[in-house]
Structure 1
Amino acid sequence: MSRTEAMPATMAAPGLFALVAQGVMLSAGWRRLALAYGAGAVGALAMPPFGALPALVVALCVAVWLLDGATTGRGRWQTLRKAGLIGWAWGFGYLTAGLWWLGSAFLVEADEFAWALPLGVIGLPAVLGLFYGVGFALARLVWSPGAGRIFALAFGLSTCEWLRGHLFTGFPWNTLGMALGQNLWLMQSAAGIGLYGLTLLAVLVAAAPATFATGATLRARLGPSLAAGFVLAAMAFHGLTRLPEGPDATVPGIRLRLVQPNLNQDVKFRPENRADILDRYIELSDRAAAPDRSGLTDVTHVIWPESAFPFLIQRDPDALARIAAALPPGKHLITGAARADTPPEVGRPHFFNSILTLAAGPKLGDTYDKVHLVPFGEYLPAFLDASLRALHIRQFVAVPGGFTPGDRAHQRILSVPGLPPIAATICYEAIFPGAIVPEASPNGPPPVPGLILNLTNDAWFGDTPGPRQHFAQARLRAVEEGLPLVRDANTGISAVVDAHGRITASLPLGVEGVLDADLPVRLEQRTVYARFGDAPFWLLLGLTLLLAIAARRRVA
């Protein structure tokens, strides 16, 4: 079969656009991979903080044309292999351009970790790009000319994004659905279909204009784009009508103070700074957010970010006493902190990345231990642990033996006097859709939470897109679950977000300050996503696959 014969039968549209599409289809070798890599990199501009949806249109239209040209005369396996290689290059470019800021973490302790910077900035995207290779191969498996191939691509990419978010501990950062999930009106659909449902719609919408360059008739060229425009308009209208006219009500008797100390990462974890760091937290906590208020008289709960101390606060009576003295009676502190526990059967301490609660006394209250730890950041994967330790390589957070994850099977709601039940998350736990509210409890089903709490430390990544992407993803969890989000970050972005995803108060990235805010109420009715999880997504994915198969059979 010649390369001309391999082109879609719909390649009849005139004009420059069609010539560009044809040039992409006819590309070969390194040029084809370079086009795929570049297209993926352009697509990263659709992610926060840029939010350029047209960039995803460019990226996915090129993806469609590259897959159009993936046909070979040497059998289906060779075609799928070529499609998978194209997908890997596309994903490699997308993730390199979207995750380059990870390199900042390797420079915090450059003397120990700078050598590994290429592994994070290039190696991780190269490995994760394999998911997109699988997605492109799945799409090519049910490929057909015309609009049917748009459904095929949506099926393949949505499947690979779900796999990327779940396999090998999962890493759903910058899932394609975030192209829609950062717009207030469009994100409202996540209350029904979640992030992966948004991903499927994002691919359908952004890839549809590819047919404009390849359709044989005006209807074939314009129809998919018009349908995509209708989908976007319907989503925007749904979002507009779902949003209340006024602000959400707030929970009576609760006033929160979020403390954002803006500590540099190279200072934050040095034990010699322990006294100064504690002084800074206490001073900020007593600082009024408005000139007409004073101290802690107007607030009920003070919140400090993840890993607030370079020491084990639970084992430091003097530090606990100082905090207790700063808390008036009836006030409560919620703080991130490392904690240690020594199981009798082990005899050595286990360390946890935790949320601790304290009251005047001092009295330690309920705790939450981080369940979803960061590989290489908070622990070394078991299959590499011995080898890496032999080379004197440790995880970023210098804890003997690494952190121990909380008990996933018995993950529980955090209880703090004066607050509704809390769905607690630490750092990047907030990027996992469907994993915010625990499904099990030692005492049966957990209570329905009244808020999502996210304590984080984004100082690792400086003033880059990373912290902004992190906040955008945490914000979408509020819409999915129908719960307000309270987020306290060391360097920002700290914010309170209502259950519709509206930011009611915030502190920007890279500033020191305090934020006083009321707590918005949760939605009276649980969202469809909160009740059924990814079930609506799977239904949409199945329908998309059926439409792709039907289109393929029509032209067989």
Structure 2
Amino acid sequence: MSRRFEALAARVTLAQGWRRSGLALGAGAVSALAMAPFSVWPILAVTVPVAVWLIDGASGTTRLRSASSAAAIGFLFGFGYFLAGLWWIGSAFLVDADVFGWLLPFAVAGLPLLLGLFTAVGFALARLLWTPGWRRIFAFALGVGLSELARGHLFTGLPWNSFGYALADQIWLGQIASVIGVEGLTYVALAVFAAPALLADPRPARPVLALAALTLAGLGAFGAVRLWAAPTEFDERLRVRVLQPDIPQDVKTQDSARDTIMDTYISLTDEAKGPKNRGFADADLVVWPESAFPFLLSRTPEALTRIGASLAPGTSLVTGSIRGERRNDGSGAADYWNALHLVGDDGAILSTYDKIHLVPFGEYLPFQSFLEWLGLEQLTRQRGGFASGDRRAVIALPQGPRFRPLICYEAIFPEEVAGDERPDFLLNVTNDAWFGRTPGPYQHAAQARVRSIEQGLPMVRSANGGISSIVDSYGRILDHARLGERGVVDGLLPRPLKETIFTATNGRLHLFFPFLFVFLVCIRPRRR
């Protein structure tokens, strides 16, 4: 068996030209199968060793030139990974194809090209620290792990499909996120899945291979014990009804459909769920998705009046809506926010949260004025782009529980959930109808769920096109609506945990791994 591994590794390491490029591109693309909705996480034990062997073959007369060769391989690996994992972004450009269709190939290929630069830097850094033997496993995990950390934070950040989600998406392996977060889990995943590359070494470092296997087993055992010892507990004060209207995106923005959309929300929320159904009165909290209306709810009193008339006494509504205000500079211009409103049973808006972390090219354009002057616009077609909110919020419901609002992809950023006040639950509204029935909504839901594990907080999630759900404080999905399904999700609000190690340390334990890996890479045995 070892000879077969040696032969395979030699073929990969010595590959040149298009074969070498094809191996890097293909290994990256196949790695995307580790992410939702496929979640074939063991595939990384095949593709990541290929990346290690390709770095082994990165040649050059100097260490710097070897690093440049590794960077080229890393770029191709990253491009393949992000192209295969994020191609669905192109669906958003087909919603208004007459205006944005021509941009589809640039978006589908352009974002992976940019993100591949991070992977290139990670491979180059790994090669700079490269030494034969088991140490190169930790050099790889260190270099790529740091590049993944940078990808999640630089230039507004996009930690989508970070390698740690391959493990975090498995409920029993992902419980360690309550300690080290998905960023720490990324370092662990890279080291564990790189370890099989050692099987091809003339003298395989069996302790390192055993450590990788024991790490996976330990993660599973930790998760199994944690889940077995903690059945879901519920807050009897709050019955939640989450709406998934599944309104097509090209219909959702039409002003002519405003009455039809409101009728859909009201009737769907009030539909029968059983022989003792009482409609709206079945819920203490109703949740509608992001940017639910083709109008400004705060400026449409007739809509608020109808909502108030529909809500049962004591029932509250949380809904997404665009919000606008005239500027006070005399220009007559207005600012607009992607907002979330809490509406009381009398139809009054009790509280509002404005989205802070906006989507580039979706909700605003970098260099907005200049690019608009060139004739470009973001997908939402909001002239001037959306303004960004200025504060994270904890909103208290009339019934008592408090929630942290997260609009759209704010839920994929661990730091977006942090704050001085600890809420009782997380509430995520989103509009994944932009992406249709593609892997995108599955990936979004899977990554949002990890915030519950990290924070020890339940999550209530309403998505226009899917996937809506109620998740407990351990990341267990209690109920959900499938992608493309129109309906509601009912349930009691799960109780929060007091605190996790992740929250107690402000999510900083992942910083332990770079120091550990540097030590392991640099350590040298004493000569006898």
TM-score (norm 2): 0.97
The residue correspondences of 1:1-40 to structure 2 (distance < 5 A) are: 14-40=2-28
Among candidates 175, 180, 184, match of residue 171 of structure 2: 184
| Equivalent residue letter for 1:432 | F
Structure 1 residue 357, shift from structure 2 partner = 1.1
Measured in 1, the distance between the counterparts of 2:81 and 2:400 equals: 41
- CA shift, 1:35, in A, is 1.0
Residue identity matched to 1:417:
P
Residue 272 of structure 2 corresponds to residue 288 of structure 1: yes
2:447 is aligned to: 473
Give the alignment partner of residue 382 of structure 2, picking from 399, 404, 421. 399
Q: Pick one of 353, 362, 373 that aligns with 1:377.
A: 362
Q: Does 1:518 align with 2:518?
A: no
Q: What is the match of residue 136 of structure 1?
A: 123
3-state DSSP class of the match of 1:297?
Answer: helix
Mean Cα deviation higher: 138-147 or 22-31: 22-31
Q: Using the TM superposition, name which of 237-246 and 427-436 deviates more.
A: 237-246
Aligned residue runs from structure 1 range 63-74, under 5 A:
63-72=51-60, 74=61
Q: Name the SS for the 1:310 alignment partner.
A: coil
CA-to-aligned-CA distance 1:493-543 (integer Å, 9 cap, x gap):
11110001111111111111111110001002x111112234211112210
Question: Matches of 1:36 and 1:349 in 2, distance apart?
Answer: 49
Q: Residue 513 of structure 2 aligns with which residue? A: 540
Query: Which deviations, in whole Å up to 9, do the C-alpha atoms of 1:54-101 show, x marking residues without a partner?
Result: 2111211000000001132x2122111111111111100110011111
Give distance in 2, aligned partners of 1:180 and 1:291. 41
Paired residue for 1:41? 29
1:234/1:346 CA distance change after superposition, 3 Å: farther
Q: Post-superposition shift, 1:420?
A: 1.6
- Percent identical: 46
> Are 2:420 and 1:435 equivalent residues in the alignment?
no
Residue identity opposite 2:242 in structure 1: L
Is 1:358 equivalent to 2:346 in the alignment? no
SS at match of 1:116: helix
3-state SS of the aligned residue for 1:368?
strand
1:223-258 Cα deviation digits (max 9, x unpaired): 433221100000111111111446321112210111
Contact 1:255 1:301 in 2 (8 A): yes
1:97 aligns with 2:55: no
Deviations 1:377-423 (A, max 9, x none): 000112xx23421232110112221110101xx32212221142211
Match of 2:480 among 506, 509, 531: 506
Query: Residue 368 of structure 1 aligns to which amino acid in structure 2?
Result: Y
User: How far does the alpha carbon of each residue in 1:175-196 deviate from its partner, in whole angstroms, 9 at most, with x for none?
Assistant: 0001100111111000000011
Distance 2:465 2:400 in 1: 25
Is residue 291–residue 321 contact of structure 2 (8 Å, CA) maintained in 1?
A: yes
- Structure 2: stretches of 5+ with no match in the other structure: none
User: Residue type matched to 2:45 in 1?
Assistant: V
Letter in 1 for 2:406: T
Q: What are the superposed Cα offsets for residues 145-200 of structure 1, whole Å, 9 maximum, x if unpaired?
A: 11111000000111000000000000000000011001111110000000111101
C-alpha contact (below 8 Å) 2:320/2:429 kept by paired residues? yes
Kept after mapping to 1: 8 A contact 2:280/2:310 = no
Provide, for residues 114-162 of structure 1, a one-character-per-residue CA deviation record: whole Å limited to 9, x for no partner: 1111122111001110000110011111111111110000001110000
1:388 and 2:375 matched: no
**2:49 matches 1:61:** yes
What is the aligned partner in structure 1 of residue 460 from structure 2? Answer: 486
Unaligned runs of 5+ in 1: 1-12, 439-444
Contact 1:307–1:336 under 8 Å retained in 2: yes
**In 2, Cα distance between equivalents of 1:159 and 1:401:** 35
Alpha-carbon distance in 1 for matches of 2:68, 2:22: 17
**1:263 counterpart letter in structure 2:** I
Three-state SS of the structure 1 residue aligned to 2:125 is helix
Counterpart-to-counterpart distance in 2, 1:314 and 1:58: 53
Indicate the SS of the match to 2:414.
Answer: coil
